[in-house]
Chain A
Amino acid sequence: MTRLVDIALTVNGKPVTGKVEPRRTLADFLRDDLDMTGTHVGCEHGVCGACTILVNGASMRSCLMFAVQVDGAELNTVEGLAVDGKLTPLQDAFHRHHALQCGFCTPGLLMTAEAFLKENPSPTADEVRDAISGNICRCTGYIPIVEAILDAAEQLKKTDAA
């Protein structure tokens, strides 16, 4: 057994501490140590995008990072999106457009799209497709996902204007 390392970080705005083996991936730390199973683990080698979370605001693969590396970092996961059960405009758009079927890819897509819409609030459909190219969905054929993200962009603009 290797030495355990103490880490302290922020997850969805709340301070969190942990004691981890260096080989503990960030995805496994979230799921197995923090019981935050919203972040999904698919391929575990950086291809499928299911484990995408935000690290200091940027979307990254949590399966390709070790928990020891995020000591001091601020993370956002899918659990931090809805507040008191109220869906964010992006989640609501996924719901209305049926942008998920089995739901396995959804947390990664939501986190990818969250970061994307902050950078590009008025995207074209092509830009959306490019932005989600690192997230594999085997159910929807992507069309409703693209529609949902475009719709969410519109809703967010209305909210910002109001």
Chain B
Amino acid sequence: MKPAAFEYIAPVTVEEALEALGGSGKDARVLGGGQSLVPMMNFRLAQPELLIDLNRISELAGIAIREDGVVRIGAMTRHRTVELSPEIRECLPLLHEAMPYIAHVQIRNRGTIGGSLAHADPAAEWPALCFALDATIVARSSSGSREIPATEFPLGILTTALEPDEIIAEVLFPHQPAGRRYGFQEISRRRGDFALTGVACTLDLNADGVVDASRIAIFGVDDIPLLSAEAVDALTGNTMTDVLAREAGRAAAAAINPRSDLHASSEYRTQLIETLVYRALKQAAGADLLKDVA
């Protein structure tokens, strides 16, 4: 298998890359870690005329915490860098928890957050994590930059709100209040496979163990991730018990109509979501999951 021939450039600044992307007049693609695009090129499902490699643009990589607590992750930051970052572990534990689920270590050493978001696979972890944490995606073109809420970024399978002359520059994660809890669960046939379905959640409990707020992101059930308003409604204002976690799982499952494919039927995915929402909430509540009153 050989990719079709292409022209290749590896700019060292974002400006150069954007100029090439917007002004080449060619069918150009940007190359992040290449863990999705290169397989597609090897299969000749993608045959760009011009490949713009972002790997030499150092300003696109890295993790920084702003004074207002917002965590900025550059588009070319590798999954593995996020996984091993002490700052991420401290400020965004949900990401730390979820990173090992992304493929295998060899893929995580190369693949990037920006690449995963721009590829927009329905079963990928990053889009759902950005839904759960209410992230913002910063897109840049030669005419400027704009901020896109993560929930409005994926438009369908492998389709995003990015314009042809735009790249993802960075992803902004809002400050997460101290005491917020997190859960991440997914099921795949084999370790590192794409998820059949998965759940990423945040949970805020008050001192009495009552749910103040939550966000439940579900992926692998539809073309794009979704936030379960039904599960949130079931939780809000109620004491976080095992029974409540199960109710939230049922509420989430009742509201979805997942795809069937050769990996899993719609019915199976629905059952998985019921269980995974329950497990994610239990994981989030931890030792503070109250015993149910008989």
By CB atoms of chain B within 10 A, which of A25, A69, A131 has the most? A69
Within 8 A of B (CB), among A56-112: 58-61, 63-66, 68-69, 112
Do A69 and B53 have beta carbons less than 8 Å apart? yes
Chain A 1-42 per-residue mask, 1 if CB under 8 angstroms from chain B, else 0: 111010000000000000001110100100000000000000
Min Cβ gap B4→A in Å is: 7
A21, A44, A60, A68 — most chain B CB neighbours (10 Å):
A60
Residue in contact with A46 in the complex, picked from B35, B53, B105, CB distance below 8 Å: B35
SS class, residues of chain B in contact with chain A = loop
Give the residue of A28, A63, A131 whose beta carbon is less than 8 angstroms from that of B105. A131
Interface size class, chain A: 20 to 34
Chain A residue contacts of B63, Cβ below 8 A: none
Residues of chain B contacted by A116 (CB below 8 angstroms): 105
Most chain B CB neighbours (cut-off 10 Å) among A5, A28, A59, A135: A59
In the complex, the answer to whether A44 meets B42 with C-beta atoms within 8 Å is yes
Also in contact, A5 and B106, with CB within 8 A (given A45-B39, A133-B190): no
User: Which residues of chain A have C-beta atoms less than 8 A from B109's C-beta?
Assistant: 55, 58-60
Is B68 part of the contact surface with A, judged by Cβ < 8 Å? no
**Chain B residues, Cβ within 8 Å of A65:** 34, 38, 110
Q: How far is the CB of A43 from chain B (nearest CB, A)?
A: 9
Q: Are A22 and B7 in contact (CB under 8 A)?
A: yes
Give A1 to B5 CA distance when docked, in angstroms.
Answer: 8
Closest-CB distance, B179 to chain A (whole angstroms): 30
In the bound assembly, the distance between CA atoms of A34 and B14 in angstroms comes to 33
In the complex, what residue of chain B is closest to A115 when comparing beta carbons? Answer: B105
Q: With A64-B110, A133-B190, A134-B103 in contact, is A69–B55 under 8 Å at CB? A: yes
Beta-carbon contacts under 8 Å, B84-121 to A: 100, 103-107, 109-110
Q: CB-defined interface of B47-65 with A at 8 Å, one 1/0 digit per residue? A: 0000101010000000000
Q: Contact: B190 with A46, CB < 8 Å?
A: no
Q: Out of A2, A46, A55, A115, which one reaches B6, CB within 8 Å?
A: A2
Chain A residues with Cβ below 8 Å from B104 are 49, 133-135
A-B contact pairs, 30 of them (CB 8 A): A2-B6, A22-B5, A22-B7, A22-B51, A23-B3, A23-B5, A25-B2, A28-B2, A46-B38, A46-B107, A49-B104, A52-B106, A55-B110, A58-B110, A60-B110, A61-B106, A63-B38, A64-B35, A64-B39, A65-B110, A66-B38, A68-B10, A69-B10, A115-B105, A130-B100, A133-B190, A133-B192, A134-B105, A134-B192, A135-B104
Interface residues of A, Cβ cutoff 8 Å to B: 1-3, 5, 21-23, 25, 28, 44-46, 49, 52, 55, 58-61, 63-66, 68-69, 112, 115-116, 129-131, 133-135
Residues of B whose CB lies within 8 Å of any CB of A are 1-8, 10, 34-35, 38-39, 41-43, 51, 53, 55, 80, 100, 103-107, 109-110, 190-192
